[in-house]
């Protein structure tokens, strides 16, 4: 699967990922962090009562990365970016 991450500073990174059936967007971002780019900043707080911290733009639509299945968009890539509103701290992390 081809993945495109639009970072906050205007930089776009592309990755070729091994897709496993049932992967969420958060799974993909975690794999990128673990195996390709440990500098990427993202946030999630599953099971801690801070739901929506993993919210990001997924194929040009807002969504929770922990609940959205990783699927290519219209351009054949899974496109991920920070939410458009609010201050972006770094990469995919927004001010809370």
Q: Stretch 28-45: mean pLDDT, rounded? A: 95
Q: What is the DSSP letter of 10?
A: S
Per-residue pLDDT at 51: 84
Query: Domain residue spans in the chain?
Result: 2-94
Q: What's the mean per-residue pLDDT of the chain? A: 92
Q: Stretch 68-85: mean pLDDT, rounded? A: 94
Superfamily of domain 2-94: Beta-grasp domain (3.10.20.30)
> Is residue 47 over pLDDT 80?
no
Q: Stretch 35-39: mean pLDDT, rounded? A: 95
Interatomic CA distance for residues 52 and 16, integer angstroms:
27
Give the closest residue to 66 by CA, choosing from 79, 76, 52.
Answer: 52
CA angle 22, 2, 82 (to 5 degrees): 85
Q: How confident is the model at residue 23 (pLDDT cuts 50, 70, 90)?
A: very high
Is the overall model pTM greater than 0.85, yes or no? Answer: yes
Give the closest residue to 28 by CA, choosing from 96, 88, 95, 92.
Answer: 92
Per-residue pLDDT at 9: 74
Q: How confident is the model at residue 48 (pLDDT cuts 50, 70, 90)?
A: confident
């Amino acid at each position: 699967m081809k993945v495109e991450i639009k970072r906050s500073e205007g930089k776009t990174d592309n990755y070729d990922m091994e897709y496993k059936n049932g992967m969420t967007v958060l799974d993909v971002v975690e794999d990128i962090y673990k195996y390709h780019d440990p500098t990427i900043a993202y946030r999630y707080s599953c099971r801690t009562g801070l739901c929506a911290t993993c919210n990001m733009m997924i194929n040009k639509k807002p969504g929770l990365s922990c609940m959205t299945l990783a699927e290519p968009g219209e351009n054949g890539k899974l496109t991920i970016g920070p939410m458009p509103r609010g201050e972006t701290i770094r990469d995919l992390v927004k001010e809370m």
